[in-house]
Amino acid sequence: MTSANAADMPNQMELRLSDIDLDESNPRFGAPMGGTTSQRQVLDRIVEQFGVDDLLSSMSVNGYFSAEPVVVTKKAGSERYTVVEGNRRIAACLMLSGDSRAENQAERAAGFIKSWVDHGSPRLDPVPAIVFERGMQKNLLSYLGVRHIASSKSWDSYAKAAWVARVIRDNSLTVREVAAMIGDQHRTIERLLQGYYVTNQLIASGDFRPEDSVRKGRGSVSAYPFSWVYTILGYSATRKYLGIDGQQDVTVEQPIDPGSLAKGGVLMRAMFGDGRTGRNSAVTDSRELGALASVLINPEKLSLLEQGKSVDEIERISLPTEDQLRGGLASVRETLSQLISRVEESPLSAAQAQAFVEPSSRVRNLAGGLESRLKGLSGAV
């Protein structure tokens, strides 16, 4: 290996915990942490969002496994390092070692610390690390992209999108360059990125409030299923409805025209519901997203959607009159047949029967009214 090639390779070394910072911009966090973020806050979020009890249990007995180095970047003009992979492991080490950054987690860590001491305090510090120096950014991006975008250790869809957005913003790279670096041949990151920007724009404008979502998600964003956003944006009907169908540049951070943001709110409420108003999702699962997309560009169906109707209800209401009559009459006939059989099998008392005479009479009158109208239309006497 030449010295030039060696210079492009990351270093492997051992680092003191005191020289390592947790990554406050970890893409797996989901929505960015607002305001000034301390290392203590980052550690608390790691514990609360992802949990570290499994690592605390293992490390209290075995210490840190040298075969699992963390991946870090060296800070410019400093001897400090930021974790880009292995934040949970470092958080667990800080908790077991009683670091001040973990003081809010002292109660949770107490039992594990006792176990660690009982087992002879196996080594936690220093930790093995793969260090990417400045100038190796593309090497690092390729490493993380292949490992977490296209491999078995893949991040969830929102974390992927947040990572891609961060890479493009901070490194002046194009989407195609990032796709080439991670071997994405299916334009997956383009769809993720557009979904990420659309969602963030609607949140910023107040047209979408994740906390009001009735439909919950998983992974780094649990308030709503982010995967539904980029899935429905894959339909041209959705992009036309939002006015973004002709956009070629998916790196535009505010893709929706301000005049169409309210439409984005309609779409989000249709997919996820709205807990503030007691509105349910218009779809039961992701398989209905294609049907929802088609509703968006049909003015009559869209009006029903805006009234809070579900996709299933809209499709039923929108059926031709002949189909509605055929299905409705068959359903009513089946229901009446079942009720007649039930009454014959389990007779009611006189008082119970009397209570249903008037309702059944109203049903008979409605049936008679429909029959009269149909006879008139058919010319039958």
pLDDT in tens, the chain (381 residues): 334 455 566 789 999 999 999 998 887 777 664 555 799 999 999 999 889 999 999 999 999 998 899 999 888 778 899 998 899 999 999 999 999 999 999 999 999 999 999 999 999 999 999 998 765 566 676 666 656 655 545 678 888 888 888 878 877 778 888 787 777 777 888 888 999 999 999 999 999 999 999 999 987 788 999 999 999 999 999 999 999 998 888 889 999 999 999 999 999 999 999 999 999 999 999 999 999 999 999 999 999 999 999 999 999 988 888 888 888 899 999 999 999 999 988 888 999 999 999 999 999 999 999 888 888 888 875
Q: Domain end: 295, 317, 339, which one?
A: 317
Q: Kindly state whether residue 177 falls inside one of the protein's structural domains.
A: no
Residue 70 backbone dihedrals phi, psi, to 5 degrees: -80, 160
Q: Is this model's pTM higher than 0.75 or not? A: no
Q: Are 120 and 198 members of one domain?
A: no
Q: Kindly state whether residue 266 falls inside one of the protein's structural domains.
A: yes
Q: Are 305 and 236 members of one domain?
A: yes
Q: Kindly state whether residue 106 falls inside one of the protein's structural domains.
A: yes
Q: Kindly state whether residue 146 falls inside one of the protein's structural domains.
A: no
Q: Are 127 and 211 members of one domain?
A: no
Q: Are 37 and 114 members of one domain?
A: yes
Q: Kindly state whether residue 304 falls inside one of the protein's structural domains.
A: yes
Q: Are 250 and 359 members of one domain?
A: no
Residue 347 preceded by cis peptide, ω within 30: no
Which three-class secondary structure state does DSSP give residue 347? Answer: coil
Q: Are 7 and 131 members of one domain?
A: yes
List the domain range (segments joined by +) for residue 224.
Answer: 188-317
Q: Are 194 and 304 members of one domain?
A: yes
Q: Are 44 and 124 members of one domain?
A: yes
Q: Are 115 and 210 members of one domain?
A: no
Q: Are 8 and 97 members of one domain?
A: yes
**pLDDT in the model for residue 323:** 81
Q: Kindly state whether residue 79 falls inside one of the protein's structural domains.
A: yes
CA angle 196, 189, 83 (to 5 degrees): 80
- Helices within the chain (DSSP H only): 3-7, 39-50, 53-62, 87-96, 106-118, 137-148, 157-171, 175-182, 188-205, 226-232, 236-242, 261-272, 289-296, 299-306, 311-317, 321-345, 350-378
Q: Domain end: 94, 109, 135, which one?
A: 135
Q: How many domains does the chain have?
A: 3
**pLDDT in the model for residue 2:** 39
Q: Kindly state whether residue 313 falls inside one of the protein's structural domains.
A: yes
Q: Kindly state whether residue 380 falls inside one of the protein's structural domains.
A: yes
Q: Are 124 and 198 members of one domain?
A: no
**pLDDT in the model for residue 27:** 77
**pLDDT in the model for residue 152:** 47
